[in-house]
């Protein structure tokens, strides 16, 4: 099964992707994670990506697609879970030429909760675990004990432009996939377990 996860920044795509990857044995391809890896080890792609990411803008399509097509090829273009791609119409059309998409799961969250979720998010640089700052009494990762950090794009001034990019460029993809008959919506307003239960109802 080939799946795309849609949803605004802060909707919980990454959290659900980890559960789905394990339960359905899918290859999780997160463009955000791949860019962050490149930034950490300071490749040319990482340095380029950083200049867009820290402003809350999309990394140019050619660069992003090169990364995604490489990862899809590694997966044999089957049994993948795309998280963070596509993010605009051009990317969606390109993806259609490249691989079959069976289901698109839109994690739907009220816009009013997103800013707090994102600005309060802390991420572990070592293992990738994320949690809200209010659930982290001592600032260390509950999974591996490393220090938790705020992503460079999770600051309030950047979050505004990310939400704006989402509304203008990514949200129209809901319609795009609905017309193709592959879209399912789940509410992202519950706890991670509740949201995952909804996803399991859809995927079996």
Q: Check if 121 is active-site.
A: yes
Among 4, 71, 118, 124, binds Zn ion (CB under 5 A): 124
141 binds Zn ion (CB under 5 A): yes
Binder among 153, 163, 186, 188 for ligand ADP (CB under 6 A): 153
> Which contacts of 50-56 are long-range, i.e. CB under 8 A and separated by 24 or more positions?
50/152, 53/152, 53/153, 54/152, 54/153, 54/158, 55/158, 55/161, 56/153, 56/158, 56/159, 56/160, 56/161, 56/162, 56/164, 56/165
143 binds, among ligand ADP, Zn ion, none (CB under 5 to 8 A by kind): Zn ion
Nearer to ligand ADP, 38 or 183 (CB): 38
First to last CA, the chain: 12
Based on the shown chain and the rule CB under 6 A, indicate whether residue 162 belongs to the binding site for ligand ADP.
Answer: yes
| Closer Cβ to ligand ADP, 53 or 104, answer by number | 53
31 binds ligand ADP (CB under 6 A): yes
- For residue 193, count other CB atoms closer than 10 A to its CB: 8
Q: Phi, psi (5° rounding) for residue 148? A: -95, 140
122 included as an active-site residue: no
The single residue of 19, 151, 155, 200 carrying the catalytic annotation is 151
16 binds ligand ADP (CB under 6 A): no
Query: Residue 119's closest CA among 128, 107, 130?
Result: 130
> 96 vs 126, which CB is nearer to Zn ion?
126
Residue 73: exposed, middle, or buried by beta-carbon count in 10 A (0-12, 13-18, 19+)? exposed
In the list 126, 147, 175, 194, the residue contacting Zn ion (rule: CB under 5 A) is 126
Q: Which residues bind ligand ADP (CB under 6 A)?
A: 9-10, 13, 31-32, 35, 52-53, 56-59, 64, 84-85, 87, 91, 153, 162
């Amino acid at each position: 099964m080939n799946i795309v996860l849609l949803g605004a920044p802060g909707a919980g795509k990454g959290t659900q992707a980890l559960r789905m990857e394990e339960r359905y044995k899918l290859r999780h391809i997160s463009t955000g994670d791949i860019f962050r890896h490149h930034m950490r080890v300071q490749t040319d792609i990482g340095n380029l990506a950083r200049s867009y990411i820290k402003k809350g803008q999309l990394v140019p399509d050619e660069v992003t697609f090169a990364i995604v097509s490489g990862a899809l090829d590694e997966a044999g273009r089957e049994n993948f879970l795309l998280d963070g791609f596509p993010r605009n119409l051009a990317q969606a059309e390109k993806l259609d030429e490249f691989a079959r998409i069976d289901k698109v799961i839109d994690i739907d969250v009220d816009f009013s909760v997103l800013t707090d979720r994102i600005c309060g998010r802390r991420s572990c640089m070592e293992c990738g675990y994320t949690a809200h700052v209010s659930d982290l009494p001592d600032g260390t990762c509950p999974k591996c004990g490393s220090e938790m950090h705020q992503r460079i794009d999770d600051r309030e001034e950047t979050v505004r432009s990310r939400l704006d990019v989402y509304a203008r460029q990514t949200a129209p993809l809901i319609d795009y996939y609905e017309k193709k008959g592959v879209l399912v919506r789940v509410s992202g307003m519950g706890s991670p377990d509740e949201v995952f239960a909804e996803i399991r109802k859809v995927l079996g």
